[in-house]
Amino acid sequence: MAEEIVQPVRKCIYCGGEVTGERRGEHIIPEAIGGDLTLKEKAGKSVCRHCNNEVLSVLDTELCRRSHLSLIASQEIDSSLWLVWDIDHSAQNLLVEARPEWEDCELRSLYSYPQMIFETNGPQIRGDADEIERLGKDQFLNVMIRAVYSAFERFNSGKKRVFHFERVRTDLSSRSYRLPPRVYSPHSIAEIAQDIQSQSFVFRYLTTADRRCALRAMSQLDLGNRKQFDRYAHYLGSRTPSISVFFDMGLTIRAMLKIGFNLLAAYCTNTIVNLDTFPQVTRLIRGEEHLKPIDIAGSGFVYAEDVEDLARPRCHCFRITSLEKEWVIYMSFFGGRVGSVVSFPGPNREDWNTMDIIAPLHSKEWTATPSQLFLPLKVRVEWSKHEAITPSLKLQYAQTRMLVKDAPAPR
Ligand SMILES: [Zn+2]
């Protein structure tokens, strides 16, 4: 008789669902900001594919690519990490896809990605002013139109991953910014020119109606009739950009709570850390419960100087503290250039009350130092003052805008 090997059923710590086909699993801190270690590698804990890819990855995007943290990450890791828009005030505050170009810690300019924007009166092509001048306007238009045309044809014939659809969730209406649907490429037009027939584009839109309109406009692109773009050819990217940081406060807090919860799951050896023992925070993270004022008051970005004692160069550093069923986790990212705090209730069966964790960027060699002392930090939560949250950054024209969005109602 063949021996039967019984695999223990692994359950997702966020939803309790059965975990199948897990590969590396959930990163304790997002991979996008240099967090290499996963929950599975550190503690053998699992997160199901649905939670990992859909529920939780949205949160990582908001924290790592939109919030204050993304500004620093764009300098330390990859400038394309910061999802930033240039604003064309001459076109009724049109938001233009762009990435920052840093010089030391100062924003030198924004580079406008090559993009086709689908305005109601027809598509427009935009790009970086310097690049267009270098390449010549005709060549720029030619390459861009052919690349988008080819992408649409491949998309239409069922090819996958031609367009990366991204629905923008930010509410722009109250500041009268405009975000018509658009496709853009993170590559330069010279790179696109080398292989026009196989480009993919990010396809960004606000509503499904916008998405339909843009697809229809692409189906009507006429390669033979270059005139359809002539009247738009003079719009160049702004040379002295004003920029904005747009992010959703609710998603960002949930992303921070997730890091805190992951750290507990990774480093608590006696406490069971899952949705049954920490129902409140896991429901918040999964978006099944609304954030209450107390969640917002006790969690968020902090004055960077308040967590500077934790900081180590080229490391993300954390302090986990626990007292009377309340957990508080202090976070210092990128050597202390930006910090945050989260707090939430939950049991503690550990023999320590404070643990300091040092996570070097792009490394699995994390260190953890437990202590029986209770060593809280005095921190001030702050959401909008750049000079307090990211003092190492000089942003002359920066404005911050954020909003709290309702999570879906509990089932
Ligand atoms: Zn799950």
Containing 260, the helix (H) or strand (E) segment is: helix 249-267
Whether the pLDDT of residue 372 is over 50: the answer is yes
pLDDT digits 0-9 by tens, 75-106:
898 877 777 788 777 788 888 888 888 877 77
Ligand 1 center from residue 385 Cα (angstroms): 35
Indicate whether 239 pLDDT > 50: no
Answer yes or no: are the C-beta atoms of 74 and 67 closer than 8 Å.
Answer: no
Tell me how far the alpha carbon of residue 136 lies from the centroid of ligand 1, in angstroms.
Answer: 51
Q: How far is the CA of 71 from the centre of ligand 1 (A)?
A: 30
| Closest among 351, 302, 349, 305 to 330, alpha carbons compared | 302
What spacing in Å lies between the alpha carbon of 408 and ligand 1's midpoint? 17
pLDDT in tens, 278-293: 999 999 999 999 888 8
Q: Does 59 or 126 have the greater pLDDT score?
A: 59
19 C-alpha vs ligand 1 centroid, how far in Å?
8
- Using a CB cutoff of 5 Å, list residues around ligand 1, an ion: 12, 14-15, 17, 48, 51
Tell me how far apart the alpha carbons of residues 262 and 268 are, in angstroms, rounded to a whole number. Answer: 10
pLDDT band at 337 (very low <50, low <70, confident <90, very high): very high
304-328 pLDDT tens trace: 999 999 999 999 999 999 998 999 9
Domain coordinates of the chain in residue numbers?
83-245, 247-403
Residue 409 has a pLDDT of 41
Q: How far is the CA of 88 from the centre of ligand 1 (A)?
A: 42
Report the separation in Å between the CA atom of 54 and the middle of ligand 1, taken as the mean of its atom positions.
10
Backbone angles phi, psi at 372, to 5 degrees: -80, -15
Q: How far is the CA of 160 from the centre of ligand 1 (A)?
A: 26
Q: What angle do CA 13, 18, 20 make, to 5 degrees?
A: 110
* Other beta carbons within 10 Å of 333: 31
Instruction: Please report which confidence band the pLDDT of residue 401 belongs to, taking 50, 70 and 90 as the band edges.
Output: low
pLDDT at 170: 66
- Asked if pLDDT for residue 232 goes beyond 70, the answer is no
pLDDT of residue 240: 47
- Residue 122: half-sphere exposure toward Cβ, Cα within 13 Å: 11
Stronger pLDDT, 330 or 405, i.e. the higher one: 330
Question: In what helix (H) or strand (E) does residue 284 lie, and over which residues does it extend?
Answer: helix 279-285
E strand residue ranges, 153-306 = 163-167, 182-184, 201-205, 243-248, 300-302
CA distances from 223 to 94, 141, 194, 362, 365 (A): 26, 11, 19, 45, 54
Note the pLDDT tens digit of each residue in 206-217.
899 999 999 999
DSSP letters along 134-196, please? HH-HHHHHHHHHHHHHHHHHHHHTT-SSSEEEEE-----GGGT-B---EEE-SS-HHHHHHTG
Distance 15 CA to ligand 1 centre (A): 4
pLDDT, mean of residues 119-139:
84
Q: 102: CA distance to ligand 1 center in Å?
A: 38
Strand pairing report for 326-333 and 315-323: antiparallel
- What number is the average pLDDT over the span 70-78? 88
Tell me, in angstroms, the distance from the centre of ligand 1 to residue 323's CA: 28
For residues 166 and 301, the model is more confident at: 301
- CA–CA separation, 33 vs 314, rounded Å? 11
Three-class DSSP category at 381: strand
Whose tokens are 């550990």? That residue is: 350
Confidence of residue 246 (pLDDT cuts 50, 70, 90): confident
Structure tokens at 386: 């750049």
Tell me the CA–centroid distance for residue 47 and ligand 1, in Å.
Answer: 5
